[in-house]
Structure 1
Amino acid sequence: MENKVPMSKSKSIKSTQVFPEHTNHLNTMFGGKIMANMDEVAAITAMKHSGINCVTASIDSIDFIKPIRTGDIVTYEGVVSYVGRSSMEICVQIRVDDPKDHKSSLAALSFLTFVAINDDGTKRQLPKVYPETEVEKWLYETSEARVNTRQDRRIQTKGTIKYLTKFMENN
């Protein structure tokens, strides 16, 4: 029987407050700062699931839905939503909380792929996951389409790399 663990076992949460040094000239949080925090939470999530070191393999996209402003509280929540052989998809939801009115809303969303690696750099096979909540079930059930899109994009990227490498050698 295949080893499976609940998706909730990997859940990681980080909250921070946005200060002026985290914002741009429009007083909204730098996208790069959001991405760095997102990658950190995703890495912790991946390591909690795998029990070993993990590296970022790709970021599908990050969709910025709502601006995050100075004074807001930002919460990053990561969970493993799919596991292949040695790679896993991590969903990171980024919520913004206004401490004045106690309202919370989705500010950004991203899916990242991480690969589990042994100390010698080889890939490690991972336990699968299973969902428990309604949200986890949706993430799990829709993961196949994202995985297929990711695989198609990887094929396109390899073609681009091959072309650019050839082009760079000739210039």
Structure 2
Amino acid sequence: MSDTDKQNYELAFHITANLEDADVQKNRQDLEKIITSHGGVVSFAKDPDKIRLAYPVKHETSSYFGYFNFILETPESVDQIRDEVKMNNNILRFLILKHESRPKAEKEDMIRRMAQAERRKQRAAKDPEKTAGQKAETKMGKEDEKALDSKLEEILEKI
């Protein structure tokens, strides 16, 4: 399996809350087995936690929510995984997402641009030879920033 053939996916799921903890873990393990039986490699698994649902799903107001991040070589396996998960009656709802991975060159370019922007900020803060107009504009910007910070603190204190 070469790196270019691999694709990252995420399977997010809700398990019915009517089950005991041991049964919830068994359902989680069953989902993991479904993924691995179709050639998937689980890279991360979040154990299901009981949550309150925003709206009822199949007449239930709470569920156990968890997810898996996994890698597959063949896209056809996703359909097979989806079909098998649908057959599990304890799964209220699930979603399989395909994660688009950014090319390494694009990631490096983004890091380089972020570093350049940071260096520009540092140089601008250290440069004492600004024109009067620029100083006034900068000073006004700092005053606005302080006002926003104080408003933010007031709002956070109320919460």
Specify if TM > 0.5. no
- By percentage of residues, which structure has more helix? 2
- By percentage of residues, which structure has more strand? 1
**Superposition TM-score, scaled by structure 1 size:** 0.27
Structure with the greater alpha carbon radius of gyration: 2
